[in-house]
Every structure is written in C-alpha cells, then in structure tokens.
Structure 1
Amino acid sequence: MEHLTQQQQFAALVDWLRGAIAAPEAFTLGYNAEASEFIRFNHAKVRQAGHVQQAALNVKLINDGRHADLRLTLSGDAEVDQSRLAAALQQLRETLVLLPQDPYLLPNTDDWQISNAQHQPLPDSARVLAQINELAEGLDLVGFYAAGPLYRGFASSWGALGWHQANSFNFDWSLFHANGQAVKASYAGDHWDDEAFAQRFQQAREQLEFLGRPLHALAPGEYRAYLAPAALEEVMGMLCWGGFSADAIASKTSPLQRLYNGDAHLSPLVSLNEQVTGSLSPAFSGEGYPRSDLSLISGGRAHEQLVGSRSAAEYGLTANGAGGGESPSALSMAGGTLALKDILKQLGTGLYISNLWYLNFSDQSAARLTGMTRFATFWVENGEIQAPVNTMRFDDSVYSLLGSALEQLTRERELILSASTYSQRQTASSLLPGALISRLTLTL
C-alpha cells in the first residue's frame, strides 16, 4: 500500500468529510499528530528509550446553532480511518438533535489557507547521547529527552485549510549532589548547538559544586534577587491563567485586571508578545481562526487581549485566534541590557534563584503570588556565590516583581518549551530573559 504523509492522510479525510456533509450541516476538523523519540536517564545512563507515533482527529458537527464534538484516534490506514470518521459522523448526527442551540457558537466562515512546515533537521540521537554521556561523566543525572516533528491541521466546510509542522527537541534534566540537593536545567529548540549545550551543562555543573557547601540560613524579609528565566517562567505561567484572557478581563476575574483597567502598570522594561511568527505554534487555532502576533503588554502598559470565538460572541469582540482557554502559547518577553556574565556583579548581595515551585495566587485581584524556591537557589555576597539557601516561601505582587522593583532584564533570552507529554507533546513555548529585582519578599 502506498505510504502517505501525515499531510496527505489529513487531506484525504478532509475531502471525504466534505463529500459526506449534507447542507445545512457544517463541520470543523482538527488534526494532531507526532512522531516522537523519548529517552529517559537515571544515574546518567539510558534507562528507557522508545518511539511514539500517533495521530488524532477532533471533529465538530454544526447544524442550526447546535454543535457536538468527538475525538478519535487514527490508525494510519486510510480505509480504517475513513470508516472511523464515518462512524463518528453518524454518532454526532444522533447526538446533535438532543442538544440545545448554543448562543455563543461563532464558527469562522472565512475561506483561508495557511501552510507552514518547518523542516529544520533534528539532531541525531546517537550524537546527542554521546555528548550527554561525555558531559555527565561521574555525575548523578536524571533527565528526559524528547524530540521529533509535531503536526497540526485544521479544515472546515467553509473552505478553510491549515497545516503546520514543527520539529523540536527538549532535554530536561537534573544533577543531584550526594547530599540530596539538585540543580535543574533544560535545553530546547529546533537546532542543536553542541557549544551552546555544553555551556548550559557547564553552568549546571558549576552550580552543583556550590550545593556541597553548608546551607545559608535566611530570616523572612525583603531581599535583592535575580530570577533566572526558568524562575521567571513560573511567574509568567501564573499570569497566563486568565491574565490576558478577554473573558477573564470582561468578567473582572483576570489577575491583571488593574493593568487592563489602567489603574496600575508594570515597569517600562516589560513588553510581552504572543509571538506566533517563528514559533512552534501553528498560525491558526483549533477553532479555525488565523493567528497573528499580538502585543499583550508594551512598555509596562496593557495592550491587546487574547480573544477566542466564544468571548467574541458574548462580548462583541473580534476573535484573534486564541484557544478555548485564551492563554498564550508562544509567549515572548523583550530582553534588556544586562549581560549574563555581569549578573552576579550587578546582583551584588542577595539571592540567585534558578527555579520557583508550587506557585499560586495569594491575592489574585492584586496579582499577588506565593510559592517556593527550589533546586539551585544561592546566597550571593559582593558578586560571588557563597552558599546554597534552604527552601523558602515568597509572597509578592507582580506589580512589584515586574514593576517598581524590577531593575534590569538580561540581554540574552532562553527558549523554554513545554515539557508536558500528557496525551501528546505540546507546541507551547516561552522566550524569556532573566530579571534583576531590588526586593523579593520571603515570608518563611
């Protein structure tokens, strides 16, 4: 049997479904697939290696303001998959007559075509393993490597057709000291650079050496601090829970409500974009709306929102391709002027925080966060690391951390890809600098 590419398989199913639909029925069809290699490490040795190839469809049938959805797994066999899609269509038809009309259903009836296939070759796994093995010699490394192409497709009965392929890798690892302390690090992207990875690994290795020193005890209070990109990513992750959502802003539940109301602002250094261009995320949403770059925060001031189709229908807005959760999936924060080599010097005396953990809102309306330091957090004096710091809890407002207390952002930024493999690998990413902060409040 002729081997079809993922795009050809999707196109064949789209053609069949368009022929099977009877007016006034309409459909949208989403496609998700991956061909991923997974490698797990323990004690710097490969403990598990495997390959996952899977594909699935999200089918929505629409008729007279009613809609029903169904997800089905594909086999890769054209006849079998067409039969599964036919059965799904029949099931949706039987379900649809039992449902009420949805007042916020707003399908995109535009006829658009978007195609983006990133064919950047991924690194050879044998080469990656050889470098990891060399760099991790004598270390207790625990890690997870995932790599391969991700595919996304969309089609509708109104003629819309989108295709997206992104190749990426993500190596997420920890180095453990004999005393149980650990350094966590990651290296991700679409182009493996031996030198860049070696530098990232060397940084983690140097931090591991400091973990052998006696812990430095800190009392609760305000401390000067540097948040590495991974720590800042945890803060941004909390803000993405409704912070830029049109629905949350309209219903007054956004943690950035004061910012969007114009009652508060962040530092002029802060500019955040939903940077779809050049990212791993498709330039169309699962709802069938094209996506473009959005300026969410510019110079510390709120700008655009993420608007999904339901928010557009309910609040009279224009949908701009946001997903159902209206959360950024290609977040990009502008860098500053602080060079990585000058971080400790500029920090002077204070905390170097590599990671934050277990964050939650202590006062959501005030964008106030609480969480824990974790992994490599160090006490720095006169520009030199002195000792690791025990796990501490912080409680502070984003309007301080990224507002009045923000001094500088690093010139270099780190690409952080979603490490989630729940159900499937994800295309979400963050491109973030590090942040030098004049005061961070530790509570215990």
Structure 2
Amino acid sequence: MAILTKEEAKQIIDKVLAFSKADEMSVNLNGSRTGNIRYARNSVSTSGETNNLSLSITAVYGKRSGTATINEFDDASLEKTVRRAEEIARLAPENPEYVPMLGPQKYLETPTYFESTAKIDPAFRAQAAFDSIDPCSKKNLTAAGYMEDTAGFSAIGNSKGLFGYNKATSVDFSITVRTNDGLGSGYAKRDFNDAAQLNTRSATEVAMQKALTSTTARALEPGKYTVILEPAASIDLLQNMMRSMDARNADEGRSFLSKRGGGTRLGEKLFDERVNIYSDPTSVDNPDSPFAGDGRPQEKVMWVENGVVKNMFYSRYWAQEKGVKAVPSPSGIIMAGGTQSLADMIRNTEKGILVTRLWYIRAVDPQTLLYTGLTRDGTFYIENGKIKHPVKNFRFNESPVIMLNNLEAMGKPVRVNGSMVPPLKIRDFTFTSLSDAV
C-alpha cells in the first residue's frame, strides 16, 4: 500500500477534505518503499526494506493553523485527525505572515519514476554490494559503502481545489576505500533516478585507484593554489550558495545578494561570464518534483546567466509584499559546463591540486558566503599535465562567489547529490592549514 495510484491518493485526500469544518484545509499524502544495504570492512553489516504511508493535515482558521499527522486510513481515524488539526489551529497564535492557500494549479510532467529502481529487491542489493566488495578484497583493500533505493509518491490537495501527484524513484550509492595500512583513502558517489545507470563496480574502481595512489602523501605549504574540484568536491559549496539566494534575506541585508545601503544585487554580474546555473524539473538527467511543498508549480528557472544573477527565490508572503512572482527554491541545480573530461582537465593543467571531495564544511560569514572545511579521500599534486604525487589534506577558507570569479575551466557536468555540476578548475583557491586526516 506504500505507493498509491493517482486515483487512490485523490480519493483519500477528497475524503479528508470532506470532513473539514475549518476555513481552509490542506493535505499532504506520501508513501514510499525504501531499501538499503550497508557494508564495512568488506562485509555486509545491515540490510533492510521499509514501507511507509503517511498523511499530514493542516487546518486553518483565519491566520491560525494547526497540523496533525497519521498513518491509519480508516474513516474514523481520518476524521479524528481532521478534528485534532482543527483543535490545534484554534489554540495556535495568529501568523501575521499567513497567505491563503493556492487554488488549482497546472503542473509539468517530470520523468522522475523508473521501474528499474522500483523493482530493486534484496538480490539486486546483494549483487551491488558484492560488485563493490569483491574487487577490493582481491586488491587487499577495505571497502565501506552504502546504497539506498526509494520508490514512492507524493500527493497534495486542499479545500480550494488544488491537487497534485507525482511518483519518483532514486538510488544513491557511496563508497569509501581504504588501504590496510590506513594511509590511503578513496571515495566515489553516484545517484540516479534510473537504477539501470548505476554500476557499483566502476564507481568502486575509481575509489580504489584513489586509495592506492594516495598512500605516500607529501606535505605542501598552505596557500593559494590552482585546484581542480571534482563534482563531489564543489557540490556542497555550490548548493550552499543556491540555498542563500533567498530574496527576503537579500532585501533585509542578510545575504551575499544584499547591497550596502539597501537593495539587492539582482541583475548584477557577480560571477565569471561562463557561469550558467538553472533548475529544470523536466530535465532528463536531473528531474525533480513538479510542485513545491506548498503546491507552487516548479518550472525551469535561470538563476545565473552568463555570470548575472537572474532570479532569487521567494516565500509566497514575501513575494506578495514585493508584488513579484513567488518563485520557489530549487531542490536540485544544473550548472552548465564544457565538454572536457576530468582527465582532459588534468592534462591541461601545468601546476595544480586535484581535490576528490570536501567535508565538514561550516559557514564563516553568511554575507560573503565564506566557508571553511577540509579536503578528504584523495588529494593530489598535478604538474605538467600529470598527477605527480598525493598530498596531505588541507583546511580551506573559500567563498563560492570568489571561486566562481576565479574560474579557469569547466568539464562535463555529472550527477551528484541530486544536481548536475561539472568539475571546476579554479585559480587562487585558499588553503589555510594542513590536516593529518586521510
């Protein structure tokens, strides 16, 4: 029962709304089948599968709202939950920024669901783990990995006639490979909607190669270096930047998009002219839900075009205050790149550092988007177009805004963390100290 059809979902939502005595009511119905397998030290430690179906009901009286949730679907339980949401709403304080619910909306068709992923079973997970563990065992390496697959749906509806339904699948895989002496470490990550695209063996081989070649790391002095950031390294900085493109924060002077003295930097060129970032729920490579959590349609939005900030995202309240369209925030981004492979970018680098990934990232200054963190799982020195030797990990202090102004080159975008980003070659990337971690 975890994955309901569109008709089944609407029947439940309509039944809930029929019980309502509130001024307004909205319903969120979600269901999923989620499986996983985890292994460490070349041995599977956990594996399982869960099915979940849940309902969230929000009742509104004036500007007071209350929410109740349930996972039972008989008529008596549904009506009891409606009454509970209404009771909470009557007791709640008024929300001065409450905006009435949306009426019917038109949603795009998005390619988020694949039978290949929905049909994943324990045998598939076991084979995926074996394909990762086996090559590591044969090379006397130690693998630790995790794969999670989900097939589910989301349905929304309200008392003003809005209804939306979307089915989606995803499979996420990550692998860390260590040498037995603890001196070498490699990492790879893959995520897709279509499980047919996942090859855990090839991903593991990438991590194995990094582990084997990172055991003799040498110390380099901290400072400013040209770096090639693999997508797993740049994605967190880029996603943090996108999450900071909230219009209200900019208008109220709390953002990197705020101007001194008032106003925002919307329409200004803040990045290298080759930087183009957008979101598109209909993307074949990076599809997304056709609606946001509050029912707003998700559409293709250009956030940065030729280095110019083209859009910010708005809550419905703030958009109403400013008299503009209420553009919802993206859950995934697509950054246009070039046609070079990672190997091509290395060949075209005279001196630089290859970074596999960044971790333990923390904000230092939200108004400049300065972040600090560490490199991890394979950091290498490049000279004359070749990887010369591994280097010890660094702590960095860098802003994605500055980073995207120091852009040297971009490779071909790949999928990572629900987004599409290219490897990036950046000059003057700031490393502040060394780390003994591998």
Shorter-chain-normalised TM-score: which range?
Answer: 0.7 to 0.9
The answer to whether the 8 A contact 1:147-1:169 is kept is yes
1:242-281 → structure 2 map (5 Å cutoff):
243-257=244-258, 260-261=265-266, 265-278=270-283, 279-281=286-288
Contact (CA 8 Å) 2:2, 2:51: kept in 1 or not?
A: no
SS of equivalent to 1:313: helix
Conserved? CA contact 2:277–2:333, under 8 Å: yes
What are the ranges of 5 or more consecutive residues in structure 2 without an aligned counterpart? 434-438
1:33–1:56 Cα contact (<8 Å) kept = yes
Over 3 Å counting, the alpha-carbon distance change for 1:133 and 1:373 in structure 2 is closer
* C-alpha contact 1:337 1:410 (8 A) present in aligned 2: yes
1:87 to 80, 105, 123: 80
Q: Does 1:154 align with 2:156?
A: yes
User: What is the alpha-carbon distance in structure 2 between the residues aligned to residue 224 and residue 99 of structure 1?
Assistant: 55
2:79 corresponds to 1:74 = no
1:178-203, CA deviations, whole angstroms, 9 ceiling, x for partnerless residues? 23242121122023457865443322
1:59 CA drift (Å) = 1.4
State how 1:272-291 maps to structure 2 within 5 Å: 272-278=277-283, 279-291=286-298
Indicate the residue corresponding to 2:436 in structure 1: none
1:290: Cα distance to partner? Answer: 1.3
Q: Distance in 1 between matches of 2:228 and 2:2?
A: 52
Amino acid at match of 1:163: Y
Partner Cα distance (1:3, 1:204) in 2: 35
Alpha carbons 1:223, 1:441 under 8 Å: kept = yes
Taking a change above 3 Å as real, the CA distance of residues 306 and 261 of structure 1, as seen in their structure-2 partners, is closer
Contact kept, 8 Å, 1:273 with 1:294, in 2: the verdict is yes
What secondary structure sits across from 1:330 in the alignment?
coil
**Which residue is 2:89 aligned to?**
96
Q: CA deviation at 1:163?
A: 0.7
Deviation, 1:257, is 3.3
Give the Å deviation of 1:60: 1.1
Partner Cα separation in structure 2 for residue 197 and residue 335 of structure 1: 25
Q: 1 CA distance for matches of 2:354 and 2:60?
A: 53
SS at structure 2 position matched to 1:365: coil
Worse overlay, 38-47 or 99-108: 99-108
CA deviations 1:319-357 (Å, max 9, x no partner) are 23x2xxx4x302111112432221221222221001112
- Mapped to 1, the partners of 2:102 and 2:224 lie a distance apart of 54
Residues 170, 195 of structure 2: 8 Å contact kept:
no
Give the drift of 1:150.
2.7
Once residues 17 and 267 of structure 2 are traced to their aligned partners in structure 1, the CA distance between those partners, rounded to angstroms, is 47
Say if 1:263 and 1:336 are closer, same or farther in 2 by CA, change over 3 A: same
Distance 1:316 1:69, change over 3 A: farther
Q: Is 1:191 the equivalent of 2:194?
A: yes
Cα distance in structure 2, aligned partners of 1:109 and 1:277 = 22
Instruction: Give the AA of the match of 1:47.
Output: S
- Provide the identity percentage: 21
SS at match of 1:311: helix
- Following the alignment from structure 1 to structure 2, what is the Cα–Cα distance between the partners of residues 119 and 212? 40
Q: Do the aligned partners of 2:128 and 2:200 also contact (CA within 8 Å) in 1?
A: no
| Aligned partners of 1:28 and 1:156 also within 8 Å | yes
Q: What letter is aligned with 1:74?
A: N
- Contact 1:287–1:309, Cα closer than 8 Å, also in 2: no
Counterpart Cα distance in 1 of 2:24 and 2:277: 37
**How many angstroms does 1:380 deviate by?**
1.9
2:105–2:163: 8 Å Cα contact kept in structure 1? yes
* Structure 2 match to 1:438: 427
| Residue 231 (structure 2) pairs with residue 229 (structure 1) | yes
Change (3 A) 1:113 1:301: closer
Tell me which of 140, 143, 154 is aligned to 1:141: 143
The match for 2:218 among 209, 216, 233 is: 216
Whole-angstrom distance in 2 between the partners of 1:280 and 1:228: 22
Letter in structure 2 aligned against 1:187: R
Task: Tell me how far apart the structure 1 counterparts of residues 198 and 359 of structure 2 sit (CA, whole Å).
Answer: 29
Structure 2 residue 309 is matched with structure 1 residue 302: yes
Other-structure match for 1:119:
114
CA contact (8 A) 1:107 1:309 kept: no
Partner of 2:376: 374
- Return the offset for 1:306: 1.4
Secondary structure of residue in 2 paired with 1:202: helix
Q: Secondary structure at the match of 1:176?
A: strand
In structure 1, runs of 5+ residues without a counterpart are 418-428
- 2:176 corresponds to 1:174: yes
Provide, for residues 88-109 of structure 1, a one-character-per-residue CA deviation record: whole Å limited to 9, x for no partner. Answer: 2112222222334333222343
TM-score by length of 1: 0.86
Instruction: Please point out which of 349, 352, 356 is paired with 1:350.
Output: 352
Report the CA distance shift for 1:229/1:245 in structure 2 as closer, same or farther (over 3 A). same
Letter in structure 1 aligned against 2:386 = E
In 1: Cα distance, 2:193 partner to 2:90 partner: 46
Give me the whole-angstrom Cα distance separating, in 1, the residues matched to 2:226 and 2:2: 59
Contact conserved, 1:272 with 1:297, CA < 8 A, in 2?
A: yes
Rounded Cα–Cα distance in structure 2 between residues aligned with 1:316 and 1:240: 22
Counterpart residue identity of residue 271, structure 1: N
Q: Deviations over 1:123-155 (max 9, x none)?
A: 533543443344333331101110120321111
When residues 229 and 85 of structure 1 are mapped into structure 2, their CA distance, relative to the original with a 3 A threshold, is same
After TM superposition, the structure 1 stretch with the greater mean CA deviation from structure 2, 334-343 or 250-259, is: 250-259
Q: CA RMSD in A?
A: 2.5
